[in-house]
Amino acid sequence: MKKQKTILLGMSGGVDSSVAALILKKQGYNVIGVFLKVYSNAKNKFTGECLYLDELKIAKKISALLDIPLIFLDFEKEYKKNILKPMLKSYSLGKTPNPDIACNKIIKFPILWKIAKKYNADYIATGHYAKIKKTLQGYKLLAGEDKSKDQSYFLSDLSQKDLSHTIFPLGNLKKQNVRKIAKQNKFPNWNKHGTTGICFIGEQNMQKFLKRKIREKPGIVKTPEGKVIGTHKGIFFYTIGQKTGTHIGIEIKKPINLSQKRFYIAEKKLKSNVLIVAPESHPSLAKKQVFLKNLHFINPKEKIPPHLKARIRHLGELHDGALKKSKKYIFIFSKLVEAIAEGQYIVLYHKNQLIANAEIKL
């Protein structure tokens, strides 16, 4: 008789991980759910309770419905040390980091595998919309079937080792079908809104969040030509490509000939604390190439295709271009691309396969 495989599934209380649990159980796996508590500062605005408690209640209900065990683990200390602290430092250096990518690489997947081994599990699983394909050269990471929910961008720092013991049960499903399955099985979260925002923290007004951690440092605003036209609250609170306005603490007096134009952030000068802004379609708002820091190939054994597509934000536009190396790796776009910020991640694709990622350096 074939031995039943055990799988450890990260359960968040959301509909995706709940349906993933159902699918894995129907496939014959011995499913163990695990709920990771990593951030308790976010509160429910109606009850005042920590938001994670609401999610935990739902995860417990789903586990009871499916008759699977649910483990509760507290890794808040590790999360704050390894994700939040570096994120805040990165913002304080004028960069625009992506904590979700780091969260998956440093917290979520390593912790799940560590716990999986403790319970003699064969695999780990999550409710991400992505796919893994095993080949003779190793493992490929592929975009999820639902292009409007594809989460491969956030998984781009995973290693071959991570992929070798991971399963994504929702990779071939569309979100509407996931909700339909949840409704048919009377899951209480079938129509629950998906989680957005910072990994494990959720939706936040980023500027307000940063202001609780980083002091304001007012400075001046200039045009690309060097003319002073206003003031700002601190360059840490803004990102390249962001539209200016008093609502975010940027006061500018537009030149008369450009008074009807929208102005966007073009550059942040950290040493002088100067913000450079420009009217829409100005050349300073776009880049033709970027330098790549800490380039990570999903499968180093595979030959890199000459032409790739690059994404600089989750579900953002895929830009044609090519990866080049002289002294350093650079990515050259086929056309000018706007709103590129230092510290963001660029993720490279060939068709639906994720090839590599790197931190952007300008």
Catalytic residues: 103, 199
> Distance (Å, rounded) from C-alpha 158 to C-alpha 10?
16
Question: CA–CA distance from 272 to each of 20, 96, 206, 251, 277 (Å)?
Answer: 50, 18, 23, 18, 15
Angle, nearest 10°, between helix axes 15-26 and 175-184?
A: 70
Q: For tokens 């799988």, what's the residue?
A: 7
Per DSSP (E only), the strands in 237-326 are: 251-252, 263-269, 274-279, 286-297, 308-311, 319-325
Q: What letter does residue 159 receive in the DSSP assignment?
A: -
> Distance (Å, rounded) from C-alpha 22 to C-alpha 272?
55
> Distance (Å, rounded) from C-alpha 89 to C-alpha 237?
12
> Distance (Å, rounded) from C-alpha 251 to C-alpha 243?
12
Q: What is the CA radius of gyration of the chain?
A: 22
CA angle 184-185-191, nearest 5°?
A: 70
321 forms beta bridges with 308, 333
Which residue from 267, 257, 198 is spatially nearest to 235, judged by alpha carbons? 267
232 forms beta bridges with 219
Q: What are phi and psi of 61, to 5 degrees?
A: -65, -45
Which residue from 300, 317, 312 is spatially nearest to 359, judged by alpha carbons? 312
Q: What are phi and psi of 253, to 5 degrees?
A: -110, 105
> Distance (Å, rounded) from C-alpha 357 to C-alpha 348?
6
135 forms beta bridges with 138
Helical (H) or strand (E) element with 360? strand 353-361
